[in-house]
């Protein structure tokens, strides 16, 4: 049944504007987002650095945004001369990272995506399946004797991190460094880099450039070598684009899946009937993963789009050059698309969630993430049938971030 919700006049008793990058907002954004869907589906707010940002919260509006020609990814192509002059200064060393495909439009996006797409085949994911199972088992072997663990640092993080580093071919022993550096990037509260993150990003870039030198001298059967070959084959991939690609894959390849495994485990523990159902019917794991993707939205917001022209949505004008985000976590709970959207139902069917985005930037790693989640949840539930929280759910802390929604730690016992 369609919920009638023509745009309402602004409700003076509405919740106070919130800072969308804070840990407090990430803990439970859903009531505020439900309010926006009804009353202010095109909502103007600001980031901590005062950048204006527009949030779209209805399912239809978020999916339309991801295909809307009036919006661009590359902000330099959307801004007026005046807006360009006012952009915060970007240190030159950051410039190459702007060449990552998630921040580009066609034709550059098409060229870069088709290069890497060849490597992210279903057969690569299949090849990694038994390795993922072995890592999941090794990680649990370490903690089972102790009867407790931090599910994030002991399991949910090292699993996807090890897999993406092995696919790329970067040394697994350097995990901790990569994670420290990438944390600095994903905890940014605005798309413009701040001084705080400069040292980490600088070290990350220097590390990768040295690693590329090594792989040029000593090629291997890995993704970095394949991308270097593409770069050397002609003008398909520049050195900066190679850097930006590996940087993006390393970050997107683990900072997201960790949240699916972490948030998903918490959601199952908090919904014991659904958890028992999954334990007694393991064949439900596929729809269960789709439901955990929908219910927990590990990527809460899309990355930014910029209006190329003044763009009117529901009678509200988003001015040229201003940043717009589609709130995936809100679209995934839109009552016009999902029955009882605030209930976790592991056998939900149909389930048209948009946790991997839509359109040309649809998540490249979705098959890999689904395979990793399949192994993570089946292994956890099989080996730790009595999984429960160690402390109260109120003590859990969430990570501040612009786009992601994930826990700092998830102490559990079993």
Q: Which residue is nearest to ligand HEM (CB)?
A: 365
**Cβ-proximal residues to 36 (8 Å cutoff; 6+ apart), any chain:** 43, 55, 57, 327, 330
Out of 224, 230, 252, 402, point to the residue binding ligand HEM (CB under 6 A). 252
108-147 positions binding ligand HEM, by CB under 6 A: 113
Cβ proximity to ligand HEM, 38 vs 182, nearer residue:
182
Interface segment toward ligand HEM; rule CB under 6 A; list 15-23, 41-49, 350-358, 377-385: 350-358
Q: What one-character DSSP code corresponds to residue 254?
A: T
Out of 53, 364, 371, 410, point to the residue binding ligand HEM (CB under 6 A). 364
- C-alpha 228/C-alpha 245 separation (Å) is 11
Residue 26 engages ligand HEM in binding (rule: CB under 6 A): no
Interface segment toward ligand HEM; rule CB under 6 A; list 21-29, 245-253, 341-349, 377-385: 245-253
Q: Which of 121, 64, 92 is nearest to 312 (CA)?
A: 64
Q: 3-state class of 53 per DSSP?
A: strand
Q: 3-state class of 37 per DSSP?
A: helix
Cβ proximity to ligand HEM, 302 vs 414, nearer residue:
302
Q: 3-state class of 347 per DSSP?
A: coil
Q: Which of 260, 288, 264 is nearest to 346 (CA)?
A: 288
**Minimum CB–partner distance for residue 74 and ligand HEM (Å):** 12
CB atoms within 10 A of CB 49: 12
Interface segment toward ligand HEM; rule CB under 6 A; list 55-63, 172-180, 185-193, 349-357: 349-357
Handedness of CA 307, 364, 98, 247 (dihedral sign): positive
**Cβ-proximal residues to 178 (8 Å cutoff; 6+ apart), any chain:** 161, 165, 170, 204, 250
Number of residues that bind ligand HEM (CB under 6 A): 24
Strands 411-413 and 148-150: antiparallel
- Measured between alpha carbons, how far is residue 31 from residues 14, 36, 159, 172 in Å? 11, 9, 32, 41
Binding mask 270-299 for ligand HEM (x = CB under 6 A): ----------------------------xx
CB atoms within 10 A of CB 55: 22
Binding mask 147-166 for ligand HEM (x = CB under 6 A): -----------------x--
- C-alpha 134/C-alpha 317 separation (Å) is 52
**Minimum CB–partner distance for residue 10 and ligand HEM (Å):** 28
In the block, residue with structure tokens 């802390």: 397
**Minimum CB–partner distance for residue 68 and ligand HEM (Å):** 12
- Measured between alpha carbons, how far is residue 106 from residues 64, 84, 261, 414 in Å? 18, 21, 33, 49
Residue 353 engages ligand HEM in binding (rule: CB under 6 A): no
Binding mask 303-342 for ligand HEM (x = CB under 6 A): x---------------------------------------
Cβ proximity to ligand HEM, 326 vs 414, nearer residue:
326
Out of 63, 165, 182, 257, point to the residue binding ligand HEM (CB under 6 A). 257
* Residues found near ligand HEM in the complex (CB under 6 A): 101-102, 113, 164, 248-249, 252-253, 256-257, 260, 298-299, 302-303, 355-357, 361, 363-365, 368-369
């Amino acid at each position: 049944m369609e919920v009638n919700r023509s745009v309402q006049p602004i409700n003076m008793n509405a919740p106070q504007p919130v800072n969308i990058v804070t840990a407090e907002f990430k803990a439970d954004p859903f009531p505020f987002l439900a309010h926006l869907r009804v009353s202010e589906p095109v909502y103007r707010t600001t980031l901590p650095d005062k950048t204006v940002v527009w949030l779209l919260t209805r399912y239809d509006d978020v999916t339309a945004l991801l295909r809307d020609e009036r919006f661009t990814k590359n902000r330099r192509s959307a801004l007026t001369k005046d807006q360009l002059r006012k952009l915060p200064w970007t240190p030159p060393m950051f410039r190459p990272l702007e060449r990552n495909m998630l921040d580009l439009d066609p034709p550059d996006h098409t060229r870069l995506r088709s290069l890497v797409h060849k490597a992210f085949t279903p057969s690569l994911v299949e090849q990694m399946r038994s390795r993922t199972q072995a890592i999941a088992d090794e990680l649990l072997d370490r903690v089972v004797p102790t009867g407790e663990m931090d599910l994030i640092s002991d399991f949910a993080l090292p699993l996807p991190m090890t897999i993406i580093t092995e696919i790329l071919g970067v040394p697994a022993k350097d995990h901790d460094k990569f994670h420290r550096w990438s944390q600095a990037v994903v905890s940014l509260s605005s798309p413009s880099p701040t001084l705080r993150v400069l040292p980490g990003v600088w070290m990350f870039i220097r590390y990768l450039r040295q690693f590329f030198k090594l792989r040029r001298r000593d090629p291997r059967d890995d993704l970095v070598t394949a991308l270097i070959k593409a770069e050397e084959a002609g003008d398909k991939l520049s050195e900066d684009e190679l850097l930006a690609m590996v940087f993006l894959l390393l970050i997107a390849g683990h900072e997201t899946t960790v949240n699916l495994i972490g948030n998903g485990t918490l959601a199952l523990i908090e919904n014991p009937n659904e958890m028992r159902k999954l334990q007694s019917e393991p064949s439900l794991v596929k729809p269960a993963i789709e439901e955990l993707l929908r219910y927990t939205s590990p990527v809460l917001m899309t990355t930014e789009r910029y209006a190329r022209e003044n763009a009117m949505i529901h009678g509200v004008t988003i001015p040229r050059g201003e940043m717009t985000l589609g709130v995936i976590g809100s679209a995934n709970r839109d009552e016009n698309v999902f029955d009882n959207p605030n209930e976790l139902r592991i056998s939900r069917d149909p389930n048209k969630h948009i946790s991997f985005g839509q359109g040309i930037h649809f998540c490249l790693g979705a098959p890999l993430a689904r395979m990793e989640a399949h192994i993570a949840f089946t292994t956890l539930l099989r080996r730790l049938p009595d999984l429960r929280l160690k402390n109260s759910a109120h003590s859990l802390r969430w990570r501040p971030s612009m786009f992601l929604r994930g826990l700092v730690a998830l102490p559990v016992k079993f």
